Amino acid sequence: MTKFQERVFSGVQPTGTLHLGNYLGAIKNFVELQNKYNCVYCVVDQHAITVDQDPKELRSNILEVLASFIAAGVDYKKQIIFQQSSVPAHSQLAWVFNCVSRIGWLNRMTQFKDKAGKNKENVSVGLMVYPNLMAADILAYLATHVPVGDDQKQHLELSRDIAQKFNNDFGVEFFPQPEPLIYGSATRVMSLRDGSKKMSKSDPSDFSRILLTDDDDTITAKIKKAKSDSELIPGSKEELQSKPECLNLINILSATTNQSVDQVLSHYAGKEYSSLKKDLADSLVQVISPIRGEINNLLNNQDELNVILAEGTEKAAAIANPIIEEVYKIVGFK
């Protein structure tokens, strides 16, 4: 196998304010990885329109996600942050991948099944071919490493299958096999109201998630109200398995304090939830309040954000355009 130059790529959809799951599952890792890799981080607006969006809200969400990347610590001067729709290479490669990927593969995607539900005949075609576009995002940069939350694992496997099939079909070693980077104690942050559902932007209950824009009192109130039970906190990981809400709180505290789950668990075993919740709220306030402040500063200076986006677009296109040229030669367009 040809040695590919290592590069990180990841994307976040501008479909609402980012929450703690996005931060701990993905963006916190984006920040760490920039010490080791060249990184490309993308606001994936073309993914967002696979379901209905209000155009005005979409534009403001794009800027908010961009501001959240920077506020969380992504270094936009050294790395690349940009908006997907401004670099046509994503759509160009997605079309080629629509013709490489198989309908049977897409039919197996659990996220599609969940999102389409009983409405399978009436959702957009875009929602179904969304994983092909995701593969194009990654492979337009020949990216080798992709930091994501646990829910994106299956989509990453599909990206690998597409890369492999393209290479086989055309007898080349052109695309790498992108590797998912799913790590930390909070790869799947659960709803604060129901430990069996993941924390998401679309849950109808505001109390199910902590937003990166929540003020300190709101964070504390949401943690206080988080679902728990009247027993004491168990002492072993085995017992925790039957208490998903408790496990979630422990995982979050482990991630925000950079301690292992075992360390956190041994500290709270046999104690009441109130002590865990108090420390968790304090820890979250410490992590989120500076990010919130910076998001607000950046959003008050939209001209600067637009300049950052334009610079990112130029840097991203400079990598992706020659790769598309090569792909066009391989498939016989050129």
Residue 9 contact, options ligand AMP, ligand TRP, none, Cβ 5-8 Å cut-off depending on partner type: ligand TRP
* Residue where the block lists tokens 């677009």: 313
Tokens of 274: 């109130």
188 is a contact residue toward ligand AMP (CB under 6 A): yes
The SS3 assignment for 53 reads coil
Determine whether 278 is an active site residue. no
10 is a contact residue toward ligand TRP (CB under 6 A): yes
Helix-helix angle 55-72:273-299, to 10 degrees:
110
**Segment contacting ligand TRP by CB under 6 A, of 8-16, 182-190, 193-201, 303-311:** 8-16
* Residue where the block lists tokens 């004491």: 232
Q: Nearer Cβ to ligand AMP, position 189 or 223?
A: 189
Q: Nearer Cβ to ligand AMP, position 81 or 199?
A: 199
Question: Which residue is closest to ligand TRP by CB?
Answer: 11
* Residue where the block lists tokens 């959702």: 123
Neighbours of 76 (CB within 10 A): 18
**Segment contacting ligand TRP by CB under 6 A, of 94-102, 144-152, 261-269, 309-317:** 144-152
Determine whether 224 is an active site residue. no
Q: Measured between alpha carbons, how far is 182 from 148 in angstroms, rounded to an integer? A: 6
Q: Measured between alpha carbons, how far is 90 from 136 in angstroms, rounded to an integer? A: 6
Instruction: Pick from 127, 128, 134, 240 the residue near ligand TRP by CB under 6 A.
Output: 134
Determine whether 222 is an active site residue. no
Can you state the percent helix, strand and coil of the chain, rounding each to 5? 60, 5, 35
94 is a contact residue toward ligand TRP (CB under 6 A): no
Residue 138 contact, options ligand AMP, ligand TRP, none, Cβ 5-8 Å cut-off depending on partner type: ligand TRP
Q: Cβ distance 15 to 201 under 8 Å?
A: yes
**x-or-dash pattern for ligand AMP, window 124-163, by CB under 6 A?**
------------------------xx-xx-----------
Question: Which residue is closest to ligand AMP by CB?
Answer: 25
Torsion of CA 100, 103, 106, 110, to 10 degrees: -160
179 is a contact residue toward ligand AMP (CB under 6 A): no
| Shortest distance (Å) from residue 97 CB to ligand TRP | 12
Expressed in angstroms, the distance from the first to the final Cα of the chain is 25
Ranges of beta strands (E only) in the chain are: 8-12, 39-43, 80-83, 145-147, 179-181
Judged by the rule CB under 6 A, the positions of this chain that interact with ligand AMP are 12-13, 21-22, 25-26, 148-149, 151-152, 187-189, 198-200
Judged by the rule CB under 6 A, the positions of this chain that interact with ligand TRP are 9-11, 13, 44, 47, 134, 137-138, 146, 148, 152, 155
